[in-house]
């Protein structure tokens, strides 16, 4: 995750950058709007942290121009301008979050992390694992091009296994995700549905069993 920090207070900028880096972000620094424009033109960022009082203008102007040009990169305003009208103006211009100085670094890092996660691209509507094709939006499944007819329960189980392809999905997660609270955790409902699914998916087998843990779909395409 790459973050651009726009801050003209060099000491504060340096500390913010180093704190964010220690949390695992890649961080670039700009100390004025013109510098931020240059960096935004050449790099893609997952999140921006923007001060308002900058030597060549208000950081909000940067947010406004980004939004006008259709760029939706999440922006957190980090500023001493903390009046309600100032905060509201920030959101009105398209900021996603607003923190007022002084602030806690841990909270800043947590908020930046939340903004980055929110901006992650949604799952592709059609997920392919080997010759298996799962259309998440239309809820259709094909194996080697052949359309299969699955029950809602079978689809729900397959959807979770495919979403976590390459990882073992514990039986308890399948029950949590695909059954309501009436399901008996010790019952064999999961095994029954998985064996129906296996039969419909055909050979070679797609769903592996990890004894005592759960099930896995091989993630290698």
Nearer to Ca ion, 86 or 218 (CB): 86
Cα 110 to its chain centre, rounded Å, is: 14
Provide the token pair at 118.
């929110």
Q: Select from 84, 94, 8 the least CA-distant residue to 51.
A: 8
Site residues (CB under 5 A) for Ca ion, limited to 144-203: none
Q: Which residue is nearest to Ca ion (CB)?
A: 53
Q: Is 72 exposed, middle or buried (0-12, 13-18, 19+ CB in 10 A)?
A: exposed
Residues between 41 and 60 that touch Ca ion (CB under 5 A): 51, 53
Asked if 124 touches Ca ion (CB under 5 A), the answer is no
Is residue 86 part of the contact set for Ca ion (CB under 5 A)? no
Question: Measured from the CB atom, is 60 or 175 closer to Ca ion?
Answer: 60
Q: Please tell me the count of residues contacting Ca ion according to CB under 5 A.
A: 3
> How would you classify the pairing of strands 2-6 and 47-50?
parallel
Residue 8, interface with Ca ion (CB under 5 A)?
yes
The minimum distance between CB 15 and Ca ion, in angstroms, equals: 14
Kindly tell me which of 51 and 97 has the beta carbon lying closer to Ca ion: 51
- Which C-beta is closer to Ca ion: that of 27 or that of 78? 78
Using the structure block, give the residue that is written with the tokens 């790099």.
Answer: 43
The token pair at 198 is 């296996």
Select 19 or 198, whichever has its Cβ closest to Ca ion: 19
Q: What is the DSSP string of 59-104?
A: HHHHHHHHHHTT----EEEEES--SHHHHHHHHHTT-SEEEESS--
Minimum distance of Ca ion from residue 52's CB (angstroms) = 7
Applying CB under 5 A, which residues contact Ca ion? 8, 51, 53
């Amino acid at each position: 995750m790459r973050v651009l920090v726009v801050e003209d207070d060099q000491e504060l900028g340096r500390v913010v950058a180093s704190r964010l880096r220690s949390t695992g972000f890649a961080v670039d620094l700009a100390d004025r709007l013109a510098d931020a424009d240059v960096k935004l033109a050449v790099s893609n960022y997952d999140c921006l942290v923007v001060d308002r009082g900058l030597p060549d203008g208000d950081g909000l102007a940067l947010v406004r121009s980004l939004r006008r040009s259709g760029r939706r990169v999440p922006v957190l305003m980090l500023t001493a301008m903390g009046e309600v009208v100032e905060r509201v103006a920030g959101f009105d211009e398209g900021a996603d979050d607003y923190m007022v100085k002084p602030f806690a670094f841990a909270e800043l890092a947590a908020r930046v992390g939340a903004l980055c996660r929110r901006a992650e691209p949604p799952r592709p509507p059609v997920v392919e694992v080997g010759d298996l094709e799962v259309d998440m939006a239309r809820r259709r499944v094909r194996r080697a091009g052949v359309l299969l007819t699955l029950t809602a329960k079978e689809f729900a189980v397959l959807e979770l296994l495919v979403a976590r392809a390459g990882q073992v999905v514990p039986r308890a997660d399948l029950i949590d995700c695909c059954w309501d609270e009436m399901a008996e955790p010790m019952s064999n409902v999961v095994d029954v549905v998985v064996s129906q699914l296996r039969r419909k998916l055909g050979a070679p087998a797609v769903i592996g069993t990890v004894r005592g843990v759960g099930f896995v779909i091989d993630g290698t395409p």
